[in-house]
Structure 1
């Protein structure tokens, strides 16, 4: 058995910290894979908020949820920027979120010109870090093979390095001998 992919590792970190009934966030819904995963982690009692600026992404997420977990009725799809996470979640979720997942880059199969950018990603990450409960986790999958990807990843990494170590643990998971801009993961746990 080989090493876990970055997404499998992100899922492992989240599974270890999320329990049925928790509130979680998929900050970049995309095709809905992480929304379904998070829904399974929190169970029928839990709440999932999924964000995307592309209607197509939310339609794909809705279809995936309808196929894989049609009975889950606490999944809220928001056609909004991830920068609006903190303002969108209800007051009772503030400081109580168990996990937030980000996949930065673009939606596979959609317009590759529609990408995440630091001007919205940094406020989103800051808001997400404030929403986390103690012991909560924030995962950031960084895809760098598209125009602007390396720059966004560097800015996100700088942001994560500046988080106060008394409040957060930050780790990086990557494969260093792969070519063609392999993605990598930054994971943040709130102390």
Structure 2
């Protein structure tokens, strides 16, 4: 692993790299500045597809510029759309999904992901997720509503059937109480229920 442990996204990308193959279909449910979207586009290759969502036009503009700089924009469908309404845009099986819960760095902290929409997005992704597929969430709690959203996400994910899903959580134990942390969800391959 080349990434420092201090870099949650780098750690999650290392995990996802082992799960995503060229030709896969994947989701970025919070496009933000486009770094995760770019990573996913590089992993799925020219025959794969990334569906990326954000409610802020500025986020999609930044993402589009980054994708064009790396010449992978043809692999990505960008949606100025609430991720909670995912199923209105995507109905095909997906191998992976990424979430960065919180707000767009450098922009208004009043525009944030919301618990209700995030839970709807998670429910939708679980419907689409292939066996062996992975959901990676980075959870930020240091903004208004962040602690409540994190609690709602954890409550929802902790109730998933353990034979069907594996859910892991990782966090720093030597940082501030509301430091970011990660959650990984994998749909177990052996489950046929």
Pick the TM interval, shorter chain.
Answer: over 0.9
- Contact map agreement 1:22 1:46 (CA 8 A) in 2: yes
Q: Distance in 2 between matches of 1:170 and 1:71?
A: 31
Q: Distance in 2 between matches of 1:62 and 1:104?
A: 20
Q: Distance in 2 between matches of 1:186 and 1:170?
A: 7
Q: Distance in 2 between matches of 1:71 and 1:105?
A: 26
Structural RMSD (CA):
1.3
User: What's 1:38 paired with?
Assistant: 40
Deviation at 1:181, TM superposition (A): 2.0
TM-score normalized by structure 2? 0.92
Select which of 179, 182, 185 maps to 1:185.
182
What SS is found at the alignment partner of 1:106? coil
TM-score normalized by structure 1? 0.93
Q: Distance in 2 between matches of 1:159 and 1:13?
A: 22
What SS is found at the alignment partner of 1:73? helix
- Contact map agreement 1:27 1:50 (CA 8 A) in 2: yes
- Contact map agreement 2:42 2:72 (CA 8 A) in 1: no
Select which of 99, 102, 108 maps to 2:99.
102
2:155 counterpart of 1:154: no
Question: What are structure 1's unaligned runs of at least 5 residues?
Answer: none
What SS is found at the alignment partner of 1:140? strand
- Contact map agreement 2:41 2:72 (CA 8 A) in 1: no
- Runs ≥4 residues deviating over 6 A: none
Q: Distance in 1 between matches of 2:74 and 2:10?
A: 25
Question: What are structure 2's unaligned runs of at least 5 residues?
Answer: 189-193
